Chain A
Amino acid sequence: MSSLTNSAHLGEVTNSQSALRNFLHGLPGVDQVGADQRAAALGTRSIKTSAKAQALDLAISMVDLTTLEGSDTPGKVQALATKAMHPDPADPTCPKAAAVCVYSDMVAHAKERLGTSGVKVASVATAFPSGRAKLEIKLADTATAVEAGADEIDMVIDRGAFLAGRYLQVYDEIVSVKQACGKAHLKVIFETGELQTYDNVRRASWLAMIAGADFIKTSTGKVAPAATLPVTLVMLEAVRDFHLATGSMVGVKPAGGIRSAKDAIKYLVMVNEVVGQQWLTPDWFRFGASTLLNDLLMQRTKLKTGHYSGPDYFTLD
C-alpha cells in the first residue's frame, strides 16, 4: 500500500478522472470475512468497573446529540441543546456532549441556547439525506448553516455519482463544500448502507480524506443498515493508513443504530486498537446518536449508585 499512497503521489491522483479511478481501484481489497471477524473479536473485550466508568464518560463527551426529523421545532432543538450541556442534571460531574446535530434552519436556535458552553453545533447540509441536488444548491445549503453559526458541517456525498464511478465529481463537490465551510469543520457522510461493499467504503474514505474532510462519517441514520462495527473498522483503517502516508489526522463518526452503552464501548475499544489512543477524544471520534445518550446515562448511574436505573429518570429527547 505504501507505494500507492505516499503523500507525493496523493497530490497527483486527483488530476483526472482516470487517475483518481486508478488510485481508488488500486487500493487493496477489504477481506470482508476478516473485517467482520476482527470487529466481532474486538467486541468481546470485557470493560469493567473503573475502566467502564471512564469509557462511559468518554463516550458521553463524544456524543453528537442528533435530531433530524421533519417534525423538529425550535423548542425541541433547544431542549436537546439543554440536554447536551447537562446530560444528567442531577450530577454536575457528568461530562457535556460534544455537539448537537440539527438541520441548517435549526442552527440558530441551537446556537442561542448553547452560547459559550463549549458544546458545538453541527448542521447537516448538501441536500441531506439524499444528496440529490445541484452543486449550487448544496453550497447555498452549506452557506446557510455556516452563516447561522454552525461549527461543523455534516455533508452527504452523492452516492449515485460514486456508485456510477464519477469519483472526480464527488471529489470536486467535497472540495467545494470544504471551501464553503470556511472555519467550520467538515464531516463527510458516506451512507455506507448504500455503498454495498467494504471496498467501496475504503475507496470513499480515501476519496473524502484526499478532498480535505476533517471527519468521515458512516451514515445519515435514515438508511438501514447504518453504522456497524465492521464498516467503522474499515474506515478507521483507512484513517490510520492516511495518517501514516500524510501525517494528517482525520476523525471518524459512526452514526445511526448505536443505541446501547455496550455497543459504544465496543467502538471505543476498536478505536484504541486500530488507530490508537490519540483518537480517543471528542476531537477525533464522535457518535451520531440520540437514544444512546440515555443508555450511557443509565449505565453511569448504575455504576454510581450500585443499582439499575430506568428510563423514567431521564428526559426522552
Chain B
Amino acid sequence: MTRLSVNKTYKLYINGQFPRSESGRSYPVTDAKGDFLANASWASRKDARDAVKAARAAFPDWSGRTAYNRSQVIYRIAEVLESRRGQFEDEIRSQEGAAASLARKAVDAAIDRLVWYAGWSDKLPQVLGGANPVAGPYFNQSTPEPSGVIAVIAPKGPLLGLVSVIAPVITSGNTCVAIASEPHPLSAITLGEVMATSDLPAGVVNLLTGPQHEIAPWLASHMDVNGIDLTGVRDADLAISLEQAAAENLKRVRRSGVEDLFSAPDLDRMTTYLEIKTVWHPMGL
C-alpha cells in the first residue's frame, strides 16, 4: 500500500508560536536545481509589527535575567540543535545542493557558534566595562547594557548565516526580529522549532520569511526598534534607504557586507547593540 507523504508546513515564528502570515500569502521555495521543495510564509508588514511587539514585550524579562542564565539558555539551543542535526543537514543539502560533508560542516559551525556566544554572555561586562579612574573622590563604573529590540536581516547560508547574526544580538540581552534569507527560509523555521523547545522565552527571537525589500523598510522605520543589522541586504539601493529610515530614531546600524561566515567572529556583532552605562558614586557610601 502506498503511503501519503506528510509534508511540513513552514510558518513564521513569532512570540514563541508558529502563525501563518497575517496576509495569508506564501511563496514557493525551490532546491538548487529549481525544483519545488516547500511553500514558505510570505510575511507582511503586520507580521513584522506583531514580531516587534512580541520582541518588545520579551525584552524586560530577557535583559533582566542574569548573564549566566542567558548563557545557559543559548547553550541549550546548541544542545537541542545538535540533537536535530540530521534534519538541518538534510535541509541544507536540499536547499543549497551542498554535499553531505559541507552540510555537516555548516551545522557543526552553527552549533559551535552558539556555544561560543553562550560563553560570552557573562564575560561582556568585564571585557567592555569596568571601573574608571577619575580625578575625585568618586567610584566610577561603566557597564554594557543591551539596546533593546534589534531587527536583523540574515545573510544567505540557511543555518549558519542566521545563527551568526542572531546569537550575538540575544547574548547580551537584546531581543530580535530576524528576516531569514529569502531563497533559503526553511532552516530558519526549523531553527525556530529548536528555539521554541530550548527554554528561550517567547518573543526573544522572532523569525520572518519573505522578501526583504517588502518587510525590511517597515522594521527600519519602526520607532520601537532600537537597532538594525543589514548584513543580509545585497541590494545597495535598499541598504541606503534602510539606513536613511533607521536614522529617524537613531537606530544602531550595522551596515551590509559580505562576510566569511566560517571564520571566527569578532566582538562587533555584540558591541554594536550595547549601550555603555556609566555611574558616578560617592566613595564614602
Docked complex: A267-317 residues within 8 A CB-CB of B: 306-313
**Which of B218, B222, B245 touches A310 (beta carbons < 8 Å)?**
B222
Min CB distance, B149 to chain A, in Å? 9
A308 to B52, alpha carbons, bound, how many Å?
Answer: 10
The interface centre, meaning the residue of B52, B221, B223, B248 with most chain A CB atoms within 10 A of its CB, is: B223
A146 to B245, alpha carbons, bound, how many Å?
Answer: 52
B218 partner residues in chain A, CB cutoff 8 A: 307-308
B248 partner residues in chain A, CB cutoff 8 A: 307
Min CB distance, A296 to chain B, in Å? 16
A308 partner residues in chain B, CB cutoff 8 A: 49, 52, 218, 221-224
Min CB distance, A148 to chain B, in Å? 38
Interface size range on A against B: under 10
Docked complex: B217-253 residues within 8 A CB-CB of A: 218, 221-225, 245, 248
A311 to B56, alpha carbons, bound, how many Å?
Answer: 10
The interface centre, meaning the residue of A306, A307, A313 with most chain B CB atoms within 10 A of its CB, is: A307
Min CB distance, B140 to chain A, in Å? 28
Min CB distance, A298 to chain B, in Å? 9
Chain B residues engaging chain A, CB cutoff 8 angstroms: 49, 52, 56, 218, 221-225, 245, 248
A310 to B218, alpha carbons, bound, how many Å?
Answer: 13
Q: Which residue of A lies closest to B248 (CB)?
A: A307
A222 to B224, alpha carbons, bound, how many Å?
Answer: 30
A309 partner residues in chain B, CB cutoff 8 A: 223-224
Min CB distance, B48 to chain A, in Å? 8
8 contacts between A and B (CB under 8 A): A307-B221, A307-B245, A307-B248, A308-B49, A308-B224, A309-B224, A310-B223, A310-B225
A312 to B221, alpha carbons, bound, how many Å?
Answer: 15
**Which of B49, B52, B224, B245 touches A312 (beta carbons < 8 Å)?**
B224
A312 to B148, alpha carbons, bound, how many Å?
Answer: 12
Min CB distance, B49 to chain A, in Å? 6
A309 to B56, alpha carbons, bound, how many Å?
Answer: 12
Min CB distance, A302 to chain B, in Å? 9
A309 to B52, alpha carbons, bound, how many Å?
Answer: 11
Apart from A307-B222, A308-B52, what 13 extra A-B contacts exist at CB < 8 Å?
A306-B221, A307-B245, A308-B49, A308-B218, A308-B221, A308-B222, A308-B223, A308-B224, A309-B223, A309-B224, A310-B223, A310-B225, A311-B56
Q: Which residue of B lies closest to A313 (CB)?
A: B223
A308 to B223, alpha carbons, bound, how many Å?
Answer: 6
A310 to B224, alpha carbons, bound, how many Å?
Answer: 4
A308 to B53, alpha carbons, bound, how many Å?
Answer: 11
A312 partner residues in chain B, CB cutoff 8 A: 223-224
B56 partner residues in chain A, CB cutoff 8 A: 310-311
Min CB distance, A199 to chain B, in Å? 36
A33 to B230, alpha carbons, bound, how many Å?
Answer: 50
